Chain A
């Protein structure tokens, strides 16, 4: 999607290894989010950021950490990957300036498989 890219698009990793997913935006949006999508659960919020170095937990944050050192990059780290973290991960952005616009723009997703 225009203005937001996720990398990698696909990854297979072994249980117990750390994994970092990257979200990069060129829209200068303040708000960034990480969701995971699983069958039967829809999308669930993992972590979000409301500014550089300002982050907070979402609904399913256990086992995940995030960092945002620049406006354009939001990193999601699985500290020690488990099979339950096999999922499709989506990054989203919203807002401009100091006020959020309510609609999200989503990235294309990262399909992560933990074996």
Chain B
């Protein structure tokens, strides 16, 4: 079953613009993470936000979490062509047997020059 659902499925913007993608999930979580995947490559961990946090920053990335709405957003500011990739949210339902992550279906971001 899919825990996270990203919106939009695809996003095309111009270099220098901001990109916002959203993630909704269904059950209680311990934390939520965002990953980037360049074409044909493995996923790369970007940022983690815990359930008791509301906002987190890392460089040009800003993540928000609203546990009452079971949703998160990832903002990439001043986007670059190199940001072109797929972005996935993942939720951690840690139960003591390892931090298993459930991934969403992803947002494909294209940043054009």
Contact = CB atoms under 8 A, between A and B. Distances in A.
Interface residues of A, number: 29
A101 B97 CA distance: 13
Contacts of A59: 1, 102
**Listed residue (B31, B99, B106) with the most chain A CB atoms within 10 angstroms of its CB:** B99
Interface in B12-45: 31, 33, 35, 40-45
Given A31-B99, A56-B97, A100-B98, A42 B105 contact: yes
A108 B31 CA distance: 25
Contacts of B48: 102-103
Interface string B76-113: 00000000000010001010011111111110000000
Given A43-B88, A100-B98, A102-B31, A107 B42 contact: yes
Contacts of B33: 102-103
Interface string A23-58: 000000001010100001111110011100000101
A60 B104 CA distance: 15
Contacts of B68: none
Nearest to A31: B98
Contacts of B105: 40-42
A91 B103 CA distance: 14
Interface of B: 1-2, 4, 31, 33, 35, 40-45, 48, 88, 92, 94, 97-106
11 contacts: A41-B2, A43-B103, A56-B97, A56-B98, A102-B48, A102-B92, A104-B101, A106-B44, A107-B42, A108-B42, A109-B41
Interface of A: 1, 31, 33, 35, 40-45, 48-50, 56, 58-59, 90, 92, 94-95, 100, 102-109
